[in-house]
């Protein structure tokens, strides 16, 4: 019988790519999503497959999955600043109550559970690059607190289930990731810039654009997740691309790629927007033998092709 894996947030950007990958690996994938930020469009190609089933469910409420379960990937959560500012309570609930429900499910099924944590646990970091031993610099009552603290709690309760119940758990800290199926209106830099270029609007850089990020192509991330799930390591592992760039340079790269000649306009920097971010991936390299393969020029081209071909932009 195929291994059975539950993927929460399956209709989202990362969840849908993970569903594709695990189907390809020969798993039976049970996708779950409450569709507040995810879209069935991301997984409609999977519905005809007998290896895929979908539950429209909010994991903050009791989760029931009949039959055997070997793995759980918990990827449900609003994940962009715009989304979690719109849904602060849901964000806190899916990271806390949702994680608790899924850990309970994992325990009852004797399944291994991997949780999607984030570089946001490092907050606006005071060390650079960030390695897994850094405890972070997070404002719990700022606008990002609902996401950052939910994810920090999620890591804590996952470690507690590991230590107290002996549950097999994995924690990935995901740094900025991009690729096809990002939502055009989720407020993130990449879809914002590409959408603006395609609509002929000015490119909105927040602050003076000197803040840095390090962008990882989604296929590289999925490869890292696959390796982490199957390895034997319960502590957090950073997965991201250490190639760091300022947001202004990033906007300029996208303008060049799209050939649209849009001009950059500067908007105020959102509260608590981290000034710099770059993963230290020493641990991922040594434990998983993983490092990113897709360079930004290639990843951006593939992603732009996706956005260009969306129905709203097709002439």
Active site residues: 147
Q: How far apart, in Å, are the Cα atoms of 5 and each of 146, 207, 262? A: 28, 42, 44
| Helical (H) or strand (E) element with 102 | helix 97-109
Residue of 112, 188, 278, 283 interacting with ligand UDP (CB under 6 A): 188
Site for ligand UDP in 25-84 (CB under 6 A): 80-81
Residue of 246, 270, 291, 306 interacting with ligand UDP (CB under 6 A): 270
206 binds ligand UDP (CB under 6 A): yes
Q: Which of these ranges, 19-27, 162-170, 201-209, 232-240, lies near ligand UDP under the rule CB under 6 A?
A: 201-209
Mask of contacts with ligand UDP, 231-250, x by CB under 6 A? ----------------x---
Query: 299: which 2 tokens?
Result: 């990843």
φ and ψ at residue 185, rounded to 5 degrees: -110, 25
136 binds ligand UDP (CB under 6 A): no
Q: Which of these ranges, 58-66, 199-207, 230-238, 293-301, lies near ligand UDP under the rule CB under 6 A?
A: 199-207
Cα 147 to the chain's mean position, in Å? 12
Contact 239, 225 (CB under 8 A): yes
Minimum distance of ligand UDP from residue 87's CB (angstroms): 15
| Helical (H) or strand (E) element with 282 | helix 282-283
Cα 276 to the chain's mean position, in Å? 18
Task: Round to whole Å and give the CA distance between 172 and 167.
Answer: 16
Helices (H) and strands (E) in the chain, counts: 10, 13
Helix, strand or coil for residue 153? helix
176 binds ligand UDP (CB under 6 A): yes
205 binds ligand UDP (CB under 6 A): yes
Minimum distance of ligand UDP from residue 252's CB (angstroms): 12
Residue of 192, 221, 229, 281 interacting with ligand UDP (CB under 6 A): 192
Angle between helices 145-165 and 97-109 (to 10 degrees): 20
Minimum distance of ligand UDP from residue 277's CB (angstroms): 6
Angle subtended at Cα 279 by Cα 301 and Cα 257, rounded to the nearest 5 degrees: 15
Minimum distance of ligand UDP from residue 120's CB (angstroms): 7
Minimum distance of ligand UDP from residue 93's CB (angstroms): 20
131 binds ligand UDP (CB under 6 A): no
Minimum distance of ligand UDP from residue 124's CB (angstroms): 10
148 vs 155 by CB, closer to ligand UDP: 148
5 vs 174 by CB, closer to ligand UDP: 174
211 binds ligand UDP (CB under 6 A): yes
133 C-beta neighbours (distance < 10 Å), count? 10
| Helical (H) or strand (E) element with 230 | helix 218-230
Q: Which residues bind ligand UDP (CB under 6 A)?
A: 80-81, 176, 188-189, 192, 204-206, 211, 213, 247, 270, 273
């Amino acid at each position: 019988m195929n291994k059975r894996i539950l993927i929460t947030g399956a209709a989202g950007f990362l969840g849908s790519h993970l569903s594709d990958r695990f189907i390809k690996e020969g798993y039976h994938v049970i996708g779950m999503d409450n569709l507040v930020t995810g879209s069935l469009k991301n997984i409609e190609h999977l519905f005809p497959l007998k290896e895929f089933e979908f539950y429209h469910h909010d994991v903050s409420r009791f989760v029931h999955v009949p039959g055997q379960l070997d793995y759980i990937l918990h990827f449900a959560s609003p994940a962009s600043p715009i989304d979690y500012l719109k849904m602060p309570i849901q964000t806190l609930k899916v990271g806390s109550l949702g994680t608790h429900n899924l850990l309970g499910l994992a325990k009852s099924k004797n399944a291994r559970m991997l949780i999607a944590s984030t570089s946001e646990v490092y907050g606006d970091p005071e060390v650079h690059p960030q390695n897994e031993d850094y405890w972070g610099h997070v404002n719990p009552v700022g606008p990002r607190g609902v996401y950052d603290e939910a994810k920090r709690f999620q890591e804590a309760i996952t470690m507690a289930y590991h230590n107290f119940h002996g549950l097999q758990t994995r924690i990935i800290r995901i740094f900025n990731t991009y690729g096809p199926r990002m939502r055009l209106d989720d407020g993130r830099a990449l879809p914002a810039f590409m959408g603006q270029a395609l609509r002929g609007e000015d490119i909105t850089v927040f602050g003076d654009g000197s803040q840095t990020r390090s962008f990882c192509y989604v296929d590289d991330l999925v490869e890292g997740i696959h390796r982490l799930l199957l390895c034997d390591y319960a502590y957090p592992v950073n997965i991201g691309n250490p190639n760091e760039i300022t947001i202004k340079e990033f906007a300029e790269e996208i303008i060049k790629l799209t050939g649209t000649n849009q001009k950059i306009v500067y908007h105020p920097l959102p509260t608590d927007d981290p000034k710099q971010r770059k993963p230290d991936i020493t641990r991922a390299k040594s434990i998983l033998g993983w490092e990113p393969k897709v360079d930004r020029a290639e990843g951006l081209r593939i992603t732009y092709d996706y956005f260009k071909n969306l129905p709203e932009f097709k002439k």
